[in-house]
């Protein structure tokens, strides 16, 4: 069966931040001797130039500028990036352009400047509104700066904005976690990313773990928090993403629906479908800024084909994060495989009550969401 083209997005990685947070395992580097903003932007656009042949004639549906902390770049720098992208690629009229920002780097003039540059959605890394927790997490902002950033986003001509909020923080009880969530809800963001702190390998917290809440406490936080969100009109559409109706993050939806995306910048990942070759290509760019900006090496660290036997796991690993039903036609179109290829795994998942099936869709059950790893293992 032939592969079909899914929607196309663009991820742009800016690797610098003011300081490295102890829980962060992203490719980020604390600013020490200044940021080579203009030089890096030139490399970003050159990186994009090298990838253009992979997506000739296709239209971008979304852009996500992540990090690091992209808001350490000037508004003029962000404008140069977005102008360069639009000169090279056809962009949808309704294109979502998200930029991550931290409250500690927010100023009114800078935020307005990013909007003028073409950003129409912010994702603001609040994490907590409690000063003690912010210090424990290594954040450079305080609760008032977090509130100010959200209030500022409300006043700007944006399509939407997101607040990033963690729960299950060191020594956090249910009352404190729900107070954080209530404060976020009071600021009325159209979108909320509300997720549990996890200790990742190769982070400061991994080498010196903080005392995290017990499992029973984490369960109570999750259940009571979900009820609170629903009471205020937020719909859960992904494992840790909630929004008011119609305000899903289009860029992340594209990831989870197994869409295509170019990735430019340090360590950025890409996934591109090439129907003429019956191929799905995964790309990774050089991770460290110094190596990335070394013109003698180019930008690509690796390029690998996704073999047909690996496509079902990849597809469902993304798709089953979503609460919505998964169309069977999407599996056929975006993996190039027939349903018969996965029938034994699907039958096993249904038998274990991890999935339910209709003529057109598969739907993860509540049990399937709780035991998602067990469900996904069936497709390896």
| pLDDT tens for each residue of 288-340 | 999 999 877 789 999 999 999 999 999 999 999 999 999 999 999 999 999 99
DSSP string, 65-123: EEES-GGGS-HHHHHHHHHHHHHHSEEEEEEEEEEEE-GGG--HHHHHHHHHHT--EEE
Rounded to two decimals, what is the model's pTM? 0.94
d(Cα 363, Cα 380) in Å, to the nearest integer?
19
Closest CA to 364 of 315, 304, 322: 322
Tokens linked to 65: 């500028």
**pLDDT tens string 125-135:** 999 999 888 88
pLDDT of residue 104: 73
Q: Residue 25 pLDDT > 60, yes or no?
A: no
d(Cα 12, Cα 3) in Å, to the nearest integer?
26
Going through 108-267 in order, the beta strands assigned E by DSSP cover 121-127, 160-167, 191-196, 235-238, 241-243, 260-265
Residues 6 or more apart from 267 whose CB is under 8 A from it?
13, 15, 27, 284, 285, 286, 287, 301
Average pLDDT over the chain, rounded to an integer: 93
For 51-56, what is the mean pLDDT?
Answer: 96
Domain ranges of the chain: 8-254, 309-380
pLDDT of residue 198: 85
Residues 6 or more apart from 335 whose CB is under 8 A from it?
3, 258, 308, 311, 312, 315
pLDDT of residue 229: 98
d(Cα 292, Cα 192) in Å, to the nearest integer?
33
Q: Is 32 exposed, middle or buried (0-12, 13-18, 19+ CB in 10 A)?
A: exposed
**φ, ψ (nearest 5 deg) of residue 328:** -60, -35
pLDDT of residue 110: 85
| Count of CB atoms situated within 10 Å of the CB of 217 | 16
Q: Does domain 8-254 have CATH number 3.20.20.70?
A: yes
Q: Which CATH class is domain 309-380?
A: mainly alpha
pLDDT of residue 119: 98
């Amino acid at each position: 069966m032939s592969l079909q083209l899914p929607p196309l997005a663009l991820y742009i990685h800016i690797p610098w931040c003011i300081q490295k947070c102890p829980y962060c395992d992203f490719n980020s580097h604390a600013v020490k001797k200044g940021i080579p903003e203009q030089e890096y932007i030139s490399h970003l656009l050159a990186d994009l130039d090298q990838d253009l042949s992979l997506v000739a004639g296709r239209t971008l549906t979304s852009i996500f500028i992540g990090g690091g902390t992209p808001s350490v770049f000037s508004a003029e720098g962000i404008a140069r990036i977005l102008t360069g992208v639009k000169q090279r690629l056809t962009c949808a009229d309704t294109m979502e352009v998200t930029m991550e920002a931290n409250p500690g780097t927010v100023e009114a003039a800078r935020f307005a400047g990013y909007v003028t540059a073409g950003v129409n959605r912010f994702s603001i890394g609040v994490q907590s509104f409690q000063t003690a927790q912010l210090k424990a997490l290594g954040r450079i902002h305080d609760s008032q700066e977090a509130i100010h950033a959200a209030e500022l986003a409300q006043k700007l001509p944006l399509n939407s904005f997101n607040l990033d909020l963690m729960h299950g923080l060191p020594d956090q009880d249910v009352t404190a976690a729900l107070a954080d969530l209530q404060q976020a809800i009071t600021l009325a963001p159209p979108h909320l990313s509300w997720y549990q702190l996890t200790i990742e390998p190769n982070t400061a917290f991994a080498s010196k773990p903080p005392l995290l809440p017990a499992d029973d406490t984490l369960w109570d936080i999750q259940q009571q928090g979900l009820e609170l969100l629903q009471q205020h009109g937020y719909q859960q559409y992904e494992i840790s993403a909630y929004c008011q109706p119609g305000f899903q993050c289009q860029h992340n939806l594209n990831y989870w629906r197994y869409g295509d995306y170019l990735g430019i910048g340090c360590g950025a990942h890409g996934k591109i479908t090439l129907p003429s070759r019956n191929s799905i290509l995964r790309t990774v760019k050089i991770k460290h800024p110094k190596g990335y900006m070394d013109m003698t090496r180019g930008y690509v660290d690796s390029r690998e084909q996704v073999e047909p036997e690996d496509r079902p796991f990849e597809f469902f690993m993304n798709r089953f994060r979503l609460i919505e039903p998964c169309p069977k036609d999407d599996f056929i179109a975006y993996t190039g495989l027939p349903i018969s290829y996965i029938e034994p795994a699907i039958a096993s998942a249904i038998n274990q009550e991890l999935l339910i099936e209709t003529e057109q869709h598969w739907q993860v059950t509540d049990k399937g969401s709780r035991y998602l790893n067990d469900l996904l293992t069936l497709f390896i």
